[in-house]
Homo-oligomer: A and B are copies of this chain.
Amino acid sequence: MSVESKSFVEELPPKSDLSEWYVRLILRAEIADYFEPVGGMMVIRPYGYTMWEHMVRLLDERFKATGHTNAYFPLFVPESLLKKEAEHVEGFAPEVAWVTEAGGEKLQERLAIRPTSESVVGMMYSKWVQSWRDLPVLINLWNSVVRWEKRTRFFLRTTEFLWQEGHTAHRDEADALAEVLRILDIYADFVETDLAIPVIKGVKSAAEKFAGADTTYTIEALMPDGLALQSGTSHHLGQNFARAFNITFQDLDGERKHVWTTSWGLSTRTVGAMIMVHGDDSGLILPPHVAPYQVVILPVRDEPPVRAFVEEVRAALPPTVRATVDWSDKRLGWKRSEWELKGVPLRLEVGAREVAARRVDMVRRDDPQRQRQSVPCGELAEAIPSTLETIQRDLLARARAAMEANTRLADSYEQLKQTIETRRGFVLAGWCGDPACEAAIKAETGATVRCIPLGDLGNVPGRCVYDGKPSSRRAVFARAY
């Protein structure tokens, strides 16, 4: 919408002022807007929602390729149902929004707007699952949930957010655990491959796990201000919900058994992560896989030969490339700034000289120097997709280098404390597993156990950084969003 009168460059603070930069960028690039009448709610505008649509598509393909199907479950969770799993309700009740009147009458029972759907899903699965033949049940839901938060921030923490929540039921624990880890791998692959954000995969501590889970697995990303962002979680629910909702099946041996369930979710929060991780002082830098437009063509003048050549250029691009042309009557310099702000990965400029030479000037958004590369029209069909893939890989490599540079070892508590206070970032340190040590570290430094990393990163025995007791694995500590 019209903003020519405003100067983007002037109004966007430098990225070093991260929180202000983040909010102003989201507003100016028309990614989202405040919904002022209700605190903590936002409107996701077309430019932001289109990113989410690409994310949905890329994640949904992975879910379907691994045998999951989608369904829709009701928005309302009656209070009695929410209360069935004790730890679950304790975790969520303080954040619930309640419907108490409907159709002109007071309701007999309050209805929670779903903060998550384990309860309604559990109730239905207890009806649907009868035999070992019915297992596994592999269902995913794309919906929105409401959690009444006091402190909110675009995408990272909002009263209502969009997400997917998977809910599966299995015959035995091994099958459930395999599912939990399969989804964790899908999340990590999606966030790294498509959002170009490196993550650490790991297990949550008991204090940080999902309310009602036996174990929560997580992917943790690092933001440019050194704060961690939990970016997706996959929960091994054991038989907790199966018992609470009486989800049982007749096994091959004739016995009636409780199923094992999992749940897992990834939300619009990752849109926020993507903005923070890649952007710069000029605005957004979008990974090509999820950019609403991957290419913007800027004609230097609106003249017939330029029009004709731009049409040729468009036609030369493979149909899978998402391209747009800016024919508006704004000044070229303004258009450049605007499309940089919008983070379009590749800009193609076409002037009289380019038309004559049948070439375009190609500029990568992620190149701080904005070097121009002159590409013959005949080479675009190859050059554009391959450059987009290069940008995608380079963004991940750059983000990975930043994460690695901000991941530090701490051999002593003093070192952990000092690192967290002066540099933030991820700190790897031994932890004995005692919740008391974890709580003390949190109280004294503000850092929580983000996870105990899977694989080599965590698999290092040593001593607890807090009480010196033996620790079999290392934990990642960080302050977090």
Contact = CB atoms under 8 A, between A and B. Distances in A.
A33 B150 CA distance: 36
Given A43-B72, A49-B72, A50-B69, A100 B98 contact: yes
Given A2-B131, A43-B72, 10 more contacts: A2-B130, A35-B73, A43-B120, A49-B70, A49-B71, A50-B70, A75-B146, A95-B103, A96-B102, A102-B148
B38 A53 contact: no
Interface in A164-222: none
A139 interface: yes
A110 B100 CA distance: 10
A256 interface: no
A372 interface: no
Contacts of A76: 38, 41, 160
B99 A113 contact: yes
Interface string A95-123: 11111111110000011010000001001
A162 interface: yes
A144 interface: yes
Interface of A: 1-2, 33, 35, 37-38, 41-46, 49-50, 52-53, 69-76, 78, 80-81, 94-104, 110-111, 113, 120, 123-124, 127-131, 133-134, 137, 139, 143-144, 146, 148-150, 160, 162
A7 to B, nearest CB: 16
Contacts of A80: 37
Given A72-B43, A94-B103, A98-B101, A78 B124 contact: no
Contact of A49 (B2, B69, B97): B69
A71 B45 contact: yes
Given A76-B38, A160-B74, A33 B124 contact: yes
Nearest to A78: B37
Contacts of A45: 71
A11 to B, nearest CB: 16
Contacts of A37: 78, 80-81, 123
A205 to B, nearest CB: 26
Nearest to A127: B33
Q: Which 4 A-B pairs have the closest CB atoms?
A: A103-B148, A46-B69, A97-B102, A44-B72
Given A101-B97, A102-B148, A148-B102, A74 B131 contact: no
Contacts of A104: 94, 148
Contact of A2 (B52, B120, B133, B149): B133
A1 B69 CA distance: 14
A43 B134 contact: no
A98 B113 CA distance: 11
B113 A75 contact: yes
8 contacts: A1-B129, A1-B134, A2-B133, A43-B120, A46-B139, A75-B113, A99-B99, A102-B148
A1 B132 CA distance: 10
Contacts of A128: 1, 33
A80 B94 CA distance: 26
A75 B160 contact: yes
A38 B101 contact: no
A62 to B, nearest CB: 16
A42 B149 CA distance: 28
A166 to B, nearest CB: 12
A97 B98 contact: no
Given A43-B124, A131-B2, A146-B75, A100 B100 contact: yes
Contacts of A72: 43-44, 49, 52, 144, 162
